[in-house]
Structure 1
Amino acid sequence: MKKKLTSRYVATVTAPGPKRLEVYDQTLSGFGLRVSLAGRKTWFCSPRVDGRVRRLTIGTYPALSLADARQKAQEQLRNAQLGLEPEPKADTLGDVVPQFVELYAKPRNRGWRTQERLLMHHWKPLFDVPIDQIKRADAVRVLDSIVASASAGSANNAMAVFKKLMNWCVDRGMIDANPIAGLKTPRKPVARDRVLSDRELEAVWSAADKDAYPFGPLVQVLILTAQRRAEVGEMRWSEIDFETSTWTIPAGRAKNGIAHDVPLSPAVLDILQNVPRFAGSNFVFTTTGTTPVSGFGRLKERLDREVGFSDWWFHDLRRTAASGMARIGVAPHVIEKVLNHKTGVISGVAAVYNRYSYADEKREALEKWAMTVNSSAKNACERSHQYLTSKDSKGVLTPCAAN
């Protein structure tokens, strides 16, 4: 794409997707701007040296203005015309991150979006630093800032993906050694053991019932199925067999890489049969029809305001369901099968030889759990009715949202 680059255009241009955008300047031939899907803007020029076109990175916007970038490009292009070897410039971390995500993370890791988010969010302070000039002290400063503003777990995850990226750079010859090789994790993370109380779960259920599609029904399905947020959020209609009341999570979407059959209780089927469908879309929970639902951070904020507490995560609903099933008498090995855990009660040699799916036991467990949740929601509704009746001089009851 060719266009006369102006300061206003550079400030507002975005990449429409699905690939990054490259715009060549009509004013100076061989000079251009590259815009990533994440919004990063990089100046480049393409001089011809020894009959071959070479791509040189000049810098990034807004650190380098259009006028400054055009001047630097003109110098490089002039040197090429005079037969002078252009000065090679190493890619910056900001240049390398999209390459790492596209060439390494996406093909190998189902959680590549999380890796991309960690790199784009936490390591942005080093994006303008050439990849071969990043020092151990630079990384330590970034990790210290994460610990100060977030949590040890976030810092550990950010460090792990950064270390993986730097090892990838070593393999590709971009750098000679990983600057954080052998660096210890910032802190030992504390394993979460948060389980919502019955009253708290009732509050979350009620708040979800008030939230519109797709978010409210999604949270209720999370509670009733005990599956992972990403697995439920990316649920497809093609994965659901309504005749057998079964949802099959394919291996490619399951966190542990093992296909998983989730029996659907009548309560879940009722939710799914009443959610709207986008014409031509395979996603159960979506706002666009073309991509699965997103915006869980804003959803959590809404729920927190409604329930009056915030010290919980969506993953705690999975732990709460597992604890609830144990409390009503479901065997530990059946709970593990419901959760699609690889190890635990059935592990080692037993896991190799025990291929029984426990389909009937899983169905019974999830149906008992759904009835428990439903009973709890109804009790909460009755308490609410009793309170309102005693307070309302007209004797008007507020309709209960519990299913």
Structure 2
Amino acid sequence: MTHKLTSKFIEAQKPDPSKRLEFRDGLMPGLVLRVSKKGTKTFCLHKRVKGKMRRLTIGRFGVLTLSEARERVRQILYEIETGRFEDHTGIEVDKKPTLGDAIPEYIEKYAKIHNRDWQRKEARLGKFTGLLGKRIDEIKRADVVKACDKIQETAPVSTNRALAHLKHLMGWYVERGEIDASPISGMKPPFKEQSRERVLSDDELGALWAACETEGYPFGDCMKLLILSGQRRAEVAEMRWSELDLEKRLWTLPSQRAKNGKQHTVPITDDMLDVLRKVPRFLNSDFVFTTTGKSPISGFGRLKERLDRAMPEGTEPWINHDLRRTMSTNMAQLGVPQPVTEALLNHKTGVVSGVAAIYNVYSYADEKREALGAWSKHVMKLVRSENDAIKTEIAKASN
């Protein structure tokens, strides 16, 4: 806010514990009084120098009088206008990073440490192309709204994800003291999402398995385990041999690879074991599904296109994550208790919550194995039906 500064006015200002206060002098252009959260009062100069907005710290009130601060600002403005101003003149230059600079720092110092899918987060933050050259302390809510409108034109759901990541980035910089407050705190997602309800039918599931048979290793076998285990795509695609105990029939997913950050155990059924035993092993590689031996498989977008072409005509759009819902839905029909299903999916739904969730360490080991066995039996029944249908079609064609 702009106010004609006086010594009496400055002395009367009280700190706001929630944010830093700034008062622009109505008499001397560019002179700003800052009052920190703790009450420190500092004179600054806000001025664009060589096309870049600079915040120059002049000195603290008490050490400098108001008249001395105005005189110092007048001298600096004269130096800027005459082209004799240099950054290193004994005046502290308060430089804040642009969003383009802030994103790599945030990814390196926070996301890579705490987020398994940090690359996706980095990609979504990069969608704010119009804000990358703007200083993070100069970004306004209106700027973010316009940027979200631009993203929403081509990727509505991604807009919500990108905004959520930007909110966290801004909050992280607030915690580090780089900015006083986030301009988008409390900003609601611009796109109203509808929860997915897609469940693959028995015919679709049988056709999908047949398509996976055609694909073979590595993608086809990976998708088979995705169907049989009900785990997340990344968790299956990045599976390691060191996580598998084939003798005890157990897959132990470490906490650093699990989405919720908790170690998870998945029973290995006979049909899952049959898939794993046929998988080729790369020399000196721990990855189960790989084409190089050095990294897990990728390129699921192209795989999805091939699988879609193999599905029955009229099949509604589906995504890999729908396979988890399909398993969950069928397990309910098979009489599996919901807590057991949730334990298998390693997914929190509020069935067990609060203090009870903290102390509910029972892993449902036997129940999970029995439930996954029932699901595997159901899938194999569909596979046999699909194979019989294919044989019938072949016989008809030969006659």
Normalised to the residue count of structure 1, the TM-score between the two structures is: 0.71
Is this contact kept in 2: 1:336–1:344, CA < 8 A?
A: no
5 Å matches for 1:151-300?
Answer: 151=156, 153-300=157-304
SS across alignment from 1:144: helix
**Structure 1 residues 182 and 336, CA, compared in 2 at 3 Å: closer, same or farther?**
closer
Max radius of gyration: which structure? Answer: 2
Which letter maps to 1:292? P
Shift of 1:312: 0.9
Tell me what 1:331 maps to. 337
Cα-to-partner distance string for 1:12-54 (whole Å, 9 max, x where unaligned): xxxxxxxxxxxxxxxxxxxxxxxxxxxxxxxxxxxxxxxxxxx
Match of 1:128 among 124, 133, 148: 133
SS across alignment from 1:221: helix
Quick check: 339-348 or 254-263, which moved more? 339-348
**CA–CA distance in 1 between the matches of 2:398 and 2:248?**
46
> Percent of aligned pairs with the same residue?
51
Which letter maps to 1:166? M
Shift of 1:205: 1.4
Tell me what 1:105 maps to. 111
Is this contact kept in 2: 1:166–1:178, CA < 8 A?
A: yes
Match of 1:359 among 340, 349, 365: 365
**How many residues are matched?**
312
Shift of 1:310: 5.9
Normalised to the residue count of structure 2, the TM-score between the two structures is: 0.72
**CA–CA distance in 2 between the matches of 1:378 and 1:215?**
21
**CA–CA distance in 2 between the matches of 1:202 and 1:301?**
17
Cα-to-partner distance string for 1:166-209 (whole Å, 9 max, x where unaligned): 22233344444322223221133211111111111112212222
Shift of 1:128: 3.0
SS across alignment from 2:211: helix
Name stretches of at least 5 consecutive residues in structure 2 with no aligned partner. 1-50, 53-83
Which letter maps to 2:186? G
Which letter maps to 1:376? L
SS across alignment from 1:341: coil
Tell me what 2:387 maps to. 381
Shift of 1:282: 0.9
Shift of 1:131: 3.1
